[in-house]
Each structure stands twice: as C-alpha cells, then as structure tokens.
Amino acid sequence: MTIKLEIVTAEQVVLIDEIDQLNAPTKDGRVGILPKHTPLLTILDIGELDIIKGGERNAYAIAGGFMEVLPDRITILSDTVERADDIDEQRAEEARVRAEEVLRQSDVSQEDVIAAESELRLALTRLRVSQLKRHSR
Amino acid sequence: MPSTREIRRRIRSTKNVGQITRAMEMVAASRMRRAQRNVESARPYSERMMRICQQLLRRVVDKTTNPNLFRVEEDIHSVGLIFITPDRGLCGSMVANILRQTAVFVREQKQQGHEVAVYAIGKKGRDFARRTRLNLIAEKTQISDPPKLTDILGVAINAIEDFVDGKHQEIYISYTDFVNTLVQRPTIRRILPVEIEDIDDHDQGLATLDYTYEPSQKEVLDELLPRIVESIVYQAVLESIASEHSARMVAMRNATNNSKELVRDLTLTYNKLRQSNITQEITEIATSAVAMEKDRPWHR
C-alpha cells in the first residue's frame, strides 16, 4: 500500500512518487502520514521532510508551505524545497553565520530579527538534512 | 514615375527597417524561449493551488469561519478587473485583441448597471483605462523580466482587500493566455468569488469528508486563500509575458519578410527604370544623330 506524493514549488515539480510514509514538520509539530490518512489541510513549518519508500529514507529541507492530504495523495506546495544532494553545505554554513551575526547585534529592528531567525532555522535544517545524508552512506 | 535616385533611397531605408526588425525578432525570440519555459514550469504549482481550492469549496462546511473569499453576493454594484497587458506595443494584434475584449466586457458590465474598477498591470491596460475614463484604482508597470511575485503582489493584495471589504462583489481577471508561439488567446474570467468547476469521478468519492485543519480552519484558510488568488494572478502575468514575446517575435518576423519582399520589388522597379532610362538616352542620341545627318547632307 502506497500513497502518491507530489512536491511542487512555484518554479518546478520537485518530486512525484509513490511512497510508504511521510514525516513532515507542521506548525503544530511533526506529523507522520501513512496511506488512507484522513483529509488534512495544514501549514508546514521550516524543517525536514522525511520520505520513506521501500525501507529507504530520503530527507528534504523545506522552507514552509502548505500540505494537503487526501486518502490516496499528498500535495505539498512550498516556496523552497531542496533534496539533500542539492544542498550546498558551505552556503548553508555561511547563511547560518550571517543570521547569527544579525541576531547578536542589539540595534536591529523586530522584522530583521524575525527574518534572521527563520534564516537561521532554514540554514540549520539544511545542514542537518545534508549531514543525515552523509551519515547514511 | 519616381526618379532612380528616389527609388534607391527607398531601397536603402527599407533595408534599414528590415535590419532593425530582424534584430528585434532575435531579441524577442530569446526572451520568448525563457518566458515560455517560465510559464510552463509554473503551471503545475498554480494547477495544484486551484485543485486544493476546488476541494475546499466542496468541503468547507462552516463557511462563516472565512466567508470572505467564498462570499457570493446576489446584489452586484461594482466589479473589480485585474487587467494584465504588455508595457510595450509592436507585438502584432495582441494588445488590440485584449483591449477590444476588455472594452466589450466593460460595456456589458455597465449595461447591467455595475461599476467597473480597474487594477492595471502593464502600461497598455493602464493607458486604456485612463483614456476611456475608467476608475483606475491600482497600477503596476515595468514588471521585471523574469517577473517576481513581489512585482504583482501589491496590485493583487489591493484587489483582494477591496473584495474582502465589500467594495466589489466580484473580481475578474483579463489577460492573454499563452497557447503556443502562434496562438495567444485573450481571456476574461471571474476569480472571486471562486467558481466551482465540475469535478472528475475520481475526486467525487473523496469529497464528502471535510478536512482536518491544523492548526485551525481559520488560520489555514487565512494563509492559503490569498495565496491561491496571488498564484492565479502571477500565473496570468507569466502567461501574458510569454504571449507578448511570442506575438512580438512573429510580428517582427513578418515585418522582416515584408521588408525583404519590398526590397525585391523596389529593386526590380529600379532596374526596369534604369534600363528604360538608358534605352531612352540611346534612342535620343541615335535620333538626334540621324536628324543632324539629314540637316547636313554635304558631309556624306
């Protein structure tokens, strides 16, 4: 028994596949989706997306978005989704340093702090996803 | 009959025009390829947005939690029109077609006693709204290429808010749908309130149960619904840009071909004229020679 997963960004179709299980970060915490799930519409948070298919686990970094779950299909609409292989660790590291720099300063506006915080979380997620991939090899 | 010099000048200027249109054709061709790629790669996203929206329409049982974007009013006073056009002309009949279609739409709405307010994206539509004294509420020109979502967000949000505030009871969008390089179709459709489309059998069985909303129905819908409308507007802008570059490339190619044909015709006329001038001159000399011989027979 599998469930169809579609991950789409405004620029491209990232993935269309039949999968066994999906673990996704929603605003209320992580959820696991199996086939025949009840219809669900939810807002995704920054975090890692775990796709389990045939005993194999694949991680994606996602920068928030929407997820629609129907019994036979999951649709994820997001602004940015990256495969572990596509993540540039060096750039993620630089982004992390940059975001931390902003957070350390005291004279930044509220919006800048919020922006930097989500930058930092995205960078950390990228690093974690990318490292997960390396360890599993 | 024009003189040979005049024809030479026309040949030269026609060739120049041909060179310019050829250059414009090549520029349009490369932009067209990119714009077509953009529009096609963005379609899956907006299609899925629409699919979710359609599902929602059938499922949202308690419409009071977010009545705004689903609200259907019987009594219509005013409609909003998001009008997407190119900034520039020289793209064949595309601008004329979209303007004509929109003029018809505006006339029909006014006949029904509806006011029409325009949210223009693109200079041609804005100028049209000003010229015909329509109520122009928001405008955005000089969209970057490739367009960014933030370029059109202001106008889109403006229209959505006016709808939510009850200033308009319906919102329409007018743009040029990109079919292929040779065919672009001017299109007007209602985007708010969202229309329920016919669903296929596959979805029908699933449509009975309402979603579980996390964190809550209100929060999800408040975030998702504006995004759906934005994605419709953004997709329409991409369609319009791809149409514009395609139409311009075809128009410029036609112009280049026309100039080649003109040059050929003019060259033929020029050669004929030159030939006949020479013939005439020779005839004149010969005739006068004969005439002079007649006058002075003692030289024979």
Decide if pLDDT at B201 tops 50: no
- For residue B200, the model assigns a pLDDT of 55
Strand partners, A76: A7, A67
Verify whether the Cβ–Cβ distance A40 to B45 is below 8 Å: no
| Minimum Cα–Cα distance from A68: chain B residue | B52
Using CA atoms, how far residue B217 sits from A44, A115, B58, B60, B69, in Å, is 14, 26, 14, 9, 14
In a domain, B71, yes or no: yes
Q: Where are the domains of chain A?
A: 3-84, 87-135
Q: Quote the pLDDT of residue B194.
A: 77
- pLDDT band for position A125 (50/70/90)? confident
Nearest to B206 among A9, A41, A71 (CB): A71
| B214 band by pLDDT with thresholds 50, 70 and 90 | confident
Is A26's CB within 8 Å of B59's CB? Answer: no
Residue B175 maps to a domain = yes
Residues of B in contact with A31 (CB under 8 A): 214
Give percent of chain B with pLDDT exceeding 90: 52
Contacts of B211 in chain A (CB under 8 A): 39-41, 68
Best residue of A4, A5, A7, A8 to probe chain B, by most B CBs closer than 10 Å: A8
Domain membership of residue B139 (yes or no) is yes
Cα B209 to chain centroid distance, Å, stands at 42
ipTM over 0.95? The verdict is no
Contact pairs from chain A to chain B, CB under 8 Å? 72
Does residue B206 belong to any structural domain of this protein?
yes
Q: In angstroms, rounded to a whole number, what is the distance separating the alpha carbons of residues B253 and A131?
A: 53
Per the domain annotation, does B117 fall within a domain? yes
Tell me which residues of chain A have a C-beta less than 8 Å from any C-beta of chain B: 6, 8-13, 26-28, 31, 38-43, 66, 68, 70-72, 75, 77
Least confident span in B181-190, B193-202, B205-214 = B193-202
Tens of pLDDT, residue by residue over A62-88, are 988 899 998 889 999 998 888 877 777
A68 contacts on B by Cβ (under 8 Å): 52, 55, 211
Can you tell me the mean pLDDT for B191-217? 68
Q: How many domains does chain B have?
A: 1
Which pLDDT band, with edges at 50, 70 and 90, does B69 fall under? low
Q: What pLDDT, on the 0 to 100 scale, is given for residue B184? A: 93
Look at residue B66 and tell me whether its pLDDT is greater than 80.
no
Residue B282 lies in a domain: no
- pLDDT grade for B176, boundaries at 50, 70 and 90: very high
Question: Per-residue confidence at B62, pLDDT binned at 50, 70, 90?
Answer: low
The more confidently predicted of residues B205 and A46 is: A46
* Position B223 confidence tier, pLDDT thresholds 50, 70, 90: confident
Q: Do the Cβ atoms of B164 and B68 come closer than 8 Å? A: yes
Cα B146 to the center of its chain, rounded Å: 16
- DSSP-assigned states of every residue in chain B: ---HHHHHHHHHHHHHHHHHHHHHHHHHHHHHHHHHHHHHHHHHHHHHHHHHHHHHHHH---GGGS-GGG---SS--EEEEEEE--S---STTHHHHHHHHHHHHHHHHHHTT-EEEEEEESHHHHHHHHHTT-EEEEEE----SSPPHHHHHHHHHHHHHHHHTTS-SEEEEEEEEE-SSS-EEEEEEEEESPPPPP--HHHHGGGGSPPEEES-HHHHHHHHHHHHHHHHHHHHHHHHHHHHHHHHHHHHHHHHHHHHHHHHHHHHHHHHHHHHHHHHHHHHHHHHHHHHHHH-GGG-
Task: Establish if B275 belongs to a structural domain.
Answer: no
| CATH code, domain carrying B242 | 3.40.1380.10
**Torsion angles phi and psi, residue B15, rounded to 5:** -60, -40
CATH no. for A3-84: 2.60.15.10
Place of tokens 């630089």: A94
**CA neighbor of B66 nearest in space, from B145, B149, B164, B154:** B164
Q: Does the distance separating the beta carbons of B215 and A28 come in below 8 Å?
A: yes
User: Domain limits at B146?
Assistant: 22-253
Beta carbons of B87 and B141 less than 8 angstroms apart = yes
| Tens digit of each residue's pLDDT (9 = 90 or more) over B275-298 | 999 999 999 999 998 888 776 666
Lowest model confidence (mean pLDDT) among B16-20, B44-48, B69-73, B261-265 = B69-73
Give dist(CA A15, CA A60) in Å, integer.
11
In a domain, B30, yes or no: yes
For B49-59, the pLDDT digits (tens) are 888 888 877 77
For residue A33, list chain B residues with Cβ-Cβ distance below 8 A: none
